[in-house]
Amino acid sequence: MNLQDYFSLVFTDYTLRTITLGTAILGAVTGMLGSFAVLRKQSLLGDAISHAALPGIALAFLITGAKDTNTLLLGALVSGLIGTFWIRGIVTKTHLKSDTALGLILSLFFGFGMLLLTFIQKQPNANQAGLDKYLFGQAATLVESDVWLMAIITSICLIVMLLFWKEFKLLLFDADYTKTLGFNTKFIDVLITTFIVLAIVLGLQTVGVVLMSAMLLAPAAAARQWTNSLGKMVFLAAIFGAFSGVFGTAISASQDNLSTGPVIVIVASVFVVFSFIFSPGRGLLFRQIRFIKNRRDLELQKTLAFMYHIAETHEDISHPHTIKILNNFQGFTRKTLQKLVDKNYVTLDGAMWSLTEEGFETAANLYNQNFKKHE
Amino acid sequence: MDNMKNTHSNKETPASLSADEAGAGVVAVKVDDLTVAYNYKPVLWDIDLEIPEGVLMAIVGPNGAGKSTLIKAILGILKPIAGSVTIFGKPYHKQRSHVAYVPQKGSVDWDFPTVALDVVMMGTYGSLGWIKRPGAKEKKAALEALEKVGMLPFKNRQISQLSGGQQQRIFLARALVQDASIYFMDEPFQGVDATTEIAIINILKELRKAGKTVVVVHHDLQTVPEYFDWVTFLNVKKIATGPVKDIFNDDNLTKTYGINYKVSVQK
């Protein structure tokens, strides 16, 4: 199957449609909530949560013996939440910094989860196979009911986000101030964190424990490059996330043996790289262009200012001077001079230059410019 | 100062009190036996403090003296080990609408995706309460506050593209929007140029003229007599508090800063 086949089949083929919808919704909700995680500087929280969910999956299987997605994800949710609140507990109750707490919980829970997985594999039970798909995810196992669950949780998340938009923004920007205004910051914090845990748990089946945090971070990091408004950032992150899901599924479906989760994550990373380079405000490319342009302008201004100081000493501002004097103090200046002539600041006459009226005034105002900008 | 009456006052405070009159009037903030510790180290030790209504007060003291901590404990951001705080005779959580706070500029990430006007609007969130969105009325109030601090032309500017002084003015505008009776400010003059400093102190003096109480964590001892009418010396313990002209002297400065301090007090 090539990409074209995929896009002609996506609306008719049940499996393709289910997987595509699932990954799109997953991308949207993780992108949205990822914006909050990134702005709270809790980028690694997602990684810790997803790893912390693994023992929950294994324990849910051991206790119930069932292997349906909902039971296992419920287990993941519980152990993800426990991990998250332990992290918070460690940070508030000890001297440890949050990165230490995150790393500690991540490796502790993941290690325990792997231990349980190997234990399960050694059991004489035909039902045991397939739990390890939660490590890297397997989008092909998505069924319609999974997609419905995702859609419902995403809708709830969207409604809560719109309701508490003002409170979320306030807490993200200035937590102490939020407290003084009388808002219960703990409640808002728990609300945001719970939704992040939910979104991650939803994605475990598709993207897996190991790569899940990228779904949270990549769309948000890409979106931040394009806008200076929180609303637009969250919206863009959702769009980027959804497109990563769709494109990732399309590529993996058209290239037979590629597993979907990693492809989705790579597509999301392409969004990030593209945004880092090409976004007009914060992108590397335009920043470099602005830098070069500024340097050229400065060169011009420097020469003009130098000319001004010479011309100032004469009654007649257009008193001609030799180009040599410029070369002596300003380095090689033919190009700069030509630009000044083009701007009509300077006239050339053989080896002599002189300032025009316009050039003199521009030079005189060079120093005042900063003042004017401030007023 | 023991005979100060601890009475409640509503939002319409008696206008324009001079420092002396204010000292004899209503107590705006009363702190009793306040002790705060980080882990085992006491940061504030048994602080008793009464801030009379209508004063413009500086809190001075060396680094680590607990100046910011004092404000944060009064505002309930930090939990004290012991002690109580009342605002106009009632606990703080009942008096939030009377109190505005200007945090240290460095306490937030200015690269946050938002514009100046939006930050100032946050000052209205407290009176709006949960869920309710700011509307035209709140926007108007925010624009007026921006105008007051001379930042109206920058209302749609991304906050990371403002200078340090401009960011400080935005924070000040956010507090002005709260239309409170008591203002707590944590180093509002830190890292601002002379023009901004004058602009800010003029606004603070206007607030005092309107009968508001303003409490400022301040670092520049030279400007204390010029800017403030009331001062508190703090170094983990409270050293002294009172009118600047009575207690701002070398004796108290030496007690607070631990070295032989000589400041020529301008009168």
Q: Best-predicted range by mean pLDDT among A118-127, B180-189, B242-251?
A: B180-189
Contact between chains at A166 and B113 (C-beta distance less than 8 A): no
Q: Which residues of A touch B75 (CB under 8 A)?
A: 179-180
Say if residue B3's pLDDT is above 50: no
CB B79 within 8 A of CB A190: no
Say whether residue B93 is in contact with chain A using an 8 A CB cutoff. yes
Chain A nearest C-alpha distance from B15 (Å): 25
Total-model pTM: 0.83
B195 CB neighbours in chain A (<8 A) are: 374
Closest residue in B to A170 (Cα–Cα): B122
Query: Tokens 């001077």 correspond to what residue?
Result: A321
Asked if residues A211 and A136 have their Cβ atoms less than 8 Å apart, the reply is yes
pLDDT over 70, % of chain B: 88
Question: Is there a contact between B185 and B128 (Cβ–Cβ < 8 Å)?
Answer: no
Q: Answer yes or no: is pLDDT of B104 > 90.
A: yes
**CA gap B56, B211 in Å, rounded:** 10
Provide the 10 A C-beta neighbour count for residue A226: 18
B211 touches chain A (CB under 8 A): no
Quick one: pLDDT at residue A329?
67
Q: What is the DSSP string of A280-329?
A: TTT-HHHHHHHHHHHHHHHHHHHHHHHHHHHHHTSSSTT--EEHHHHHHH
Per-residue pLDDT of chain A (375 residues; tens, 9 = 90+): 677 777 777 778 888 889 999 999 999 999 999 999 999 888 888 899 999 999 999 999 989 888 888 889 999 999 999 999 899 899 888 878 888 999 999 999 999 999 999 888 887 765 666 788 888 888 888 889 999 999 999 999 999 999 999 999 999 999 999 999 999 999 999 999 999 999 999 999 899 998 999 999 999 999 999 999 999 999 999 999 999 999 999 998 888 768 889 999 999 999 999 999 998 888 888 888 888 888 888 878 888 888 887 777 777 777 777 777 776 666 656 777 788 888 888 887 777 778 888 888 887 777 665 444 433
Strands A321-322 and A346-349, by their bridges, are: unpaired
User: Is A172 an interface residue toward B (CB < 8 Å)?
Assistant: yes
Chain A, chain B: beta-carbon pairs less than 8 Å apart: 75
Q: Which residue has the higher pLDDT, A11 or B241?
A: B241
Which H/E stretch holds residue A179? helix A175-180
Whether residue B262 has pLDDT greater than 80: no
Mean pLDDT of B240-253: 90
List of residues 6+ apart from A216 with CB closer than 8 A: A30, A33, A34, A37, A43, A46, A196, A199, A200
Instruction: Show Cβ contacts of residue A313 under 8 Å, excluding neighbours closer than 6 positions.
Output: none
A-chain residue closest to B151, CA distance: A375
CA distances, A1 to each of A4, A12, A24, A255 (Å) = 8, 15, 20, 7
Q: How far apart are CA A27 and CA A23, in angstroms?
A: 6
User: Residue B225 has what DSSP assignment?
Assistant: H
Mutate to test the interface with B, among A167, A181, A224, A275 (most CBs of B within 10 A): A181
Residue A128: its pLDDT value, please?
65
Is B6's pLDDT higher than 70?
A: no
In chain B, the residue whose alpha carbon lies closest to the alpha carbon of A35 is B113
By the CB < 8 Å criterion, does A148 face chain B?
Answer: no
Torsion, Cα A349 A352 A355 A359, to 10 degrees, reads 80
Q: Which of B72, B81, B88 is nearest to B33 (CA)?
A: B81
Of A195, A117, A102, the C-alpha closest to A157 is: A195
Cα of first residue to Cα of last residue in chain A, in angstroms, is: 63
Domains annotated on chain A, with CATH? 3-282 (1.10.3470.10), 290-373 (1.10.10.10)
Beta pairing class for B182-186 and B213-217: parallel
**What gap in Å lies between CA B255 and CA A299, rounded to an integer?**
55
Residue window 216-235, chain A: list those with CB within 8 Å of chain B: 224, 227-230, 232-233
* Res B8: pLDDT: 42
Identify the helix (H) or strand (E) that includes residue B59. Answer: strand B56-60
Give the model's pLDDT for residue B251: 86
With 70 as the cut, is the pLDDT of residue B22 above it?
no
CA A186 to chain CA centroid, Å, is: 25
Residues 35-74 of B with CB under 8 A from A: 39, 72
pLDDT for position A129: 67
- Residue B138 identity (one-letter amino acid): E
Q: Are residues B72 and A176, on separate chains, in Cβ contact within 8 Å?
A: yes
State the angle between helix axes of A334-342 and A284-312 in degrees (0 to 180), rounded to the nearest 10.
90
pLDDT digits (tens, 9 = 90+) for B57-98: 999 999 888 999 999 999 999 889 999 999 998 888 888 889
Question: In chain B, what's the furthest Cα-to-Cα distance?
Answer: 55
b/e per residue, A100-132, with b = 16+ CB within 10 A?
ebbbebbebbbebbbebbeebeeeeeeebeebb
The per-residue b/e assignment along B181-191, b for 16 or more CB within 10 angstroms, e otherwise, is: bbbbbbbbbee
Strand partners, B90: B87
Angstroms from A109 CA to nearest CA on chain B:
28
Nearest-neighbour CA in chain B from A124: distance (Å): 52
Q: In Å, how far are A69, A135, A137, A148, A150 from A60, measured between CA atoms?
A: 10, 16, 17, 22, 20
